[in-house]
Structures are given as structure tokens and as C-alpha cells.
Amino acid sequence: MPGTLVLATTENAGLTRNTLEVLAGGIKLKALLGEPVAAAILGRELSAHVPLLFAYGADQVYRAEHPLLERYQGDAYASVMHQICQRAQPSMVLLAGDSIGRELGPRLAHGLKAGFVADFVDFDLDAVSGQLQFTRQTYGGKAMAVVQPKAFPVVATAKLRTMEPPMKEEGRTGEEIRIEVALEASQLKTRVLKKVQEEVAGVKLEDAKIVVSGGRGLRGPEGFKILEQLAQVLKGAVGASRAATDSGWVPPSWQVGQTGKSVSPDLYLAFGISGATQHVAGISGAKNIVAINTDPEAPIYKVAQLGVVGDWKAVATKLIESCKELTGR
């Protein structure tokens, strides 16, 4: 039976949050269309992940193991995913809108002669036609576009942090399908020479419940030391605008925005950030935005739930003092 196929990825011996988010999308599609949810997992020694995929909503798991799949490599993954799709015949293939999905999605859609939707934030059935339609941001997040695919199957990437992971259902089972993989190193046009793991002290930016971000208004890298103190007290993570990362004040991995990371924290504190369109696109999933800026006309106030017009350093320092008093840290 046609259904939804989700690509599952792993990190630190567990399923990634990105995987759980697209599984949530598969579960929603199942509720809308009545079709099953399958997960494809590629790599080595994957048996421990299969029960977890069932527990998080997969009805079937396609398991493909091969030494050349241990690390993501576009040629290898595209070949094996195409093989899995030929067998599963899904009507929809969902991938996370991360570095893997952004490369693999278009390649897979081309190979399958399928429709492609990039970075959707939601989907539903059209009230009139009953056809599946996707909503995605456009014009840097200033508007929403509704896209209705005309060709099936459809390969789609989900914008990160727009879907909440599903609840885990212990004891849930499904069907496991082993895929025989025939890959040779000579078939691959590129190879991974080295993988550098970013060292993160504390919570990862994209997973943080509280994000403390700084922009051009901090006037230099020294200001981020203060924001790091605040983030530590709040048990959050530090982010930055593109202006701050382009200036070399902080690492590029801290950038939040359309060309950086998308975040969806419970609280987003924006210090000295004007609110450029590309930055706002990356924080659209935040539940609460608090903006601190000396310019009362800064665009960031249009999307903030609370705005403070004043000196960012005075506000941040006072917040650190107050939080330490309340928490005793």
C-alpha cells in the first residue's frame, strides 16, 4: 500500500530530533490520508534503532546496512534510497530540511521523476479539492506560499523545528524489511575524508528551549561574553545574527536565520538585533520573542511579544543578576 517514507538519521547512538520531527509529519499524513508510515534507515549496526522507530510511529522500517553507508555520502544514499523507494512505492518521501535533506531531496526527486517541495512548514488537505497542499515561507518569511503538487510521488523537506516530535509508545511493533545493498567504492564520485564534530558546551542551539542572541548592536565580540553568562544562567544557548557572524565576532555555527539555523525555543532573547527579514525567518517558530534595542523603530519589534527600548548591556546585566538571585546560581 502506498504511504509515507521518512528518512531516519542517527547521532551519538540515537535517533536525531530531525528524524522524530519528520516522523511526526508522517503520522499527520497518516491521519489525513489513511496511509501507513515507513522509515528508511541507512548505515551500519542499526538493529537497536529499529524498535525506537516503531515506538515513535513507524509501521514499517526499511533497514539498509553497508560499510559505505556508515557516514552520509550523497551518491551512496541517493542510490540506496532510490532502491528503497522502488520497493516501497511511497506516495510521499519526507526528509528533514538539514544538510542531508537539502542535498538528498532534490537528487532523489530527480531520480524518481517526482515532485519536490522544499522547506515546508505545514501541510493539509485543500478544503475544496481535497488535494494535499504544503505551506512554505517565501520572501524571507514575509509571506506564506501554498504549494499543491501535481506530480506524485512527492519528495519534500520539512523546515527544522516546525513540528513537535511524537510521543513515544513503548511496546509498539511493526514490520522490519532488510534491504540488500550492492555498493562499490568505485561507484561513488566523492568520498568523505574527514568528519569534524562541532564541540558544543551545554545545549545545542537548535535544541535549546531558551536562546540568547546578539547582533550588530553589541558592537563587538566582547558583548557575547555577557550573553554567554546569561545563557549559562538560563540553561540556554547563544545565537547571533548574520551581521555578527560575518564580522567574525562569533563562529558561523551560531548564526540564526534563513542562511543559518532555524530555532523554535520557548523564549528567544534578541539583543541588539534589528530584525532583518532573513533573521526573522529563522525565528518564526519561537513561542515568545523579547527584543532589546536602542532603536524604537527596529523591525524586530514587529514580531516580538515584548520589546525593551534601551541599552542591551544594562538589560542583560540586570537579567543575569536577577536570575542568579532567583536560582541561587
Query: Has residue 1 got a pLDDT over 70?
Result: no
Inform me whether the pLDDT recorded for 26 exceeds 70.
yes
> Could you read off the pLDDT of 121-135 as tens digits, one per residue?
999 999 888 899 999
| Alpha-carbon span 9 to 5, nearest angstrom | 13
- Per-residue model confidence as pLDDT tens digits over 223-278: 999 999 999 999 999 999 999 999 999 999 999 998 888 898 999 999 999 999 88
Give the closest residue to 88 by CA, choosing from 21, 134, 153. 153
What burial class does residue 179 get, using C-beta atoms within 10 Å of its C-beta: 0-12 exposed, 13-18 middle, 19+ buried? Answer: middle
Query: Is the pLDDT at 54 greater than 80, yes or no?
Result: yes
DSSP, collapsed to helix, strand or coil, labels residue 246 as helix
Asked if residues 26 and 94 have their Cβ atoms less than 8 Å apart, the reply is yes
Cell of 213: 542572541
Residue 34 has pLDDT above 90, yes or no: yes
On the question of pLDDT at 329 being above 80, the answer is: no
Predicted local confidence at residue 327, as pLDDT: 75
Predicted pLDDT of residue 201 = 67
User: Is the confidence at residue 181, as pLDDT, over 90?
Assistant: yes
Percent of the chain with pLDDT over 90: 76
Per-domain boundaries in the chain: 4-187, 205-327
Cβ distance 22 to 94 under 8 Å?
yes
H/E element holding 257? Answer: none
- Residue 274's alpha-carbon distances to 37, 143, 179, 182, 296, in angstroms, are 42, 19, 51, 52, 10
Q: pTM (2 decimals)?
A: 0.83
The distance from CA 235 to its chain's CA centroid, rounded to whole angstroms, is: 21
Q: Which fold has domain 205-327?
A: Rossmann fold (3.40.50)
Q: Does domain 4-187 have CATH number 3.40.50.620?
A: yes
Q: What average pLDDT does range 295-323 have in this prediction? A: 94
Strand partners, 261: 256
Do 4-187 and 205-327 show the same overall fold? yes
Say what the pLDDT of residue 255 is: 95
